[in-house]
Amino acid sequence: MLLEGRRVLVTGAARRVGAALAEALAARGARLALHCHRSKKEAAALGKRLGAVVLSADLADPAQTARLARDAVRVLGGLDVLVNNASVYAKHPFGTATARDFDLQMAVNARAPLLLTQALAPALRKARPGKVVNIADWSGKRPYADYAPYCASKAALLAITQSSAKALAPHILVNAVLPGPVLEPAGGKEAARRWRAAAKATLLGRTGSPADVCAAVLFLLEGSDFITGAAVPVEGGRLAA
């Protein structure tokens, strides 16, 4: 599939990796709808620069998620590609995660991608082929001790990727990208220490960058129409280490 003129919805696109994805897709000529939640100013500035539409929604809310799907199809006049990137990442040392913590991460990181894929499937089916890329995490396969809700949500996203790939073949191709450490999260000294440890734990002994995630997403979109149900690691060999 060539991205030139293709209609793409990217969730969590205002900042960080999502903004890098938006830039990379715009550079390939895609017509974008950028989703944001709280980062409305950043999204508006990026949307203006890229000539993209901005749509906001709290993806923890199924009604807002459904509205986002409807609005994306309406403003773009259809949809060819969905990139589920938005995510909540929170540390919960064992014994501290509440039901609310668990439900929020499952809702945003796993339920919303499934609801969006379901709602957008009729539009994506017309794209021949439509494509969905779910941004998961290598830790969905090898969970960290202090991030049970997050890792569980990313494991669920991997299951949703495979289940959707089966349900939607051959008209819509559904894949996941599993980043390792590509962009340091906020969180002070403790986060910085974890970041250095994460770099050391890769086979390559270093962190990656959002550009590495963009390269994998572009490959799944433009490089081949014969890949579906796959989970592409972009983690410096962390899973093999």
Ligand X SMILES: NC(=O)c1ccc[n+]([C@@H]2O[C@H](COP(=O)([O-])OP(=O)(O)OC[C@H]3O[C@@H](n4cnc5c(N)ncnc54)[C@H](OP(=O)(O)O)[C@@H]3O)[C@@H](O)[C@H]2O)c1
Does the footprint of ligand X cover residue 76 (CB under 6 A)? no
Q: Site map for ligand X, 108-127, x if CB under 6 A?
A: x-------------------
Q: Are 96 and 146 in contact (CB under 8 A)?
A: no
Q: Are 43 and 56 in contact (CB under 8 A)?
A: yes
Q: What residues are labeled active site? A: 150, 154
Beta-sheet pairing, 130-135 with 231-234 = unpaired
Beta-sheet pairing, 130-135 with 81-84 = parallel
CA 45 to chain centre: 21
Does the footprint of ligand X cover residue 89 (CB under 6 A)? yes
Does the footprint of ligand X cover residue 15 (CB under 6 A)? yes
C-beta closer to ligand X: residue 31 or 35: 35
Element (H or E) spanning 165, and its range? helix 148-168
Binds ligand X by CB under 6 A, chosen from 85, 105, 175, 228: 85
Binds ligand X by CB under 6 A, chosen from 18, 47, 149, 233: 18
How far, in Å, are 61, 65, 73, 165, 221 from residue 172 at the CA level? 25, 20, 16, 7, 11
Does the footprint of ligand X cover residue 58 (CB under 6 A)? yes
C-beta closer to ligand X: residue 37 or 131: 37
Q: How far is the CB of 171 from ligand X (least distance, A)?
A: 25
Q: Site map for ligand X, 199-218, x if CB under 6 A?
A: --------------------
Whether residue 129 is preceded by a cis peptide bond, meaning omega within 30 degrees of 0, is: yes
DSSP state of 238: G
CA 84 to chain centre: 4
Scanning 23-31, 160-168, 174-182, 225-233 for contacts with ligand X by CB under 6 A, the matching segment is: 174-182
Residues that bind ligand X (CB under 6 A): 12, 14-18, 36-39, 58-60, 85-89, 108, 135, 137, 179, 181-183, 185
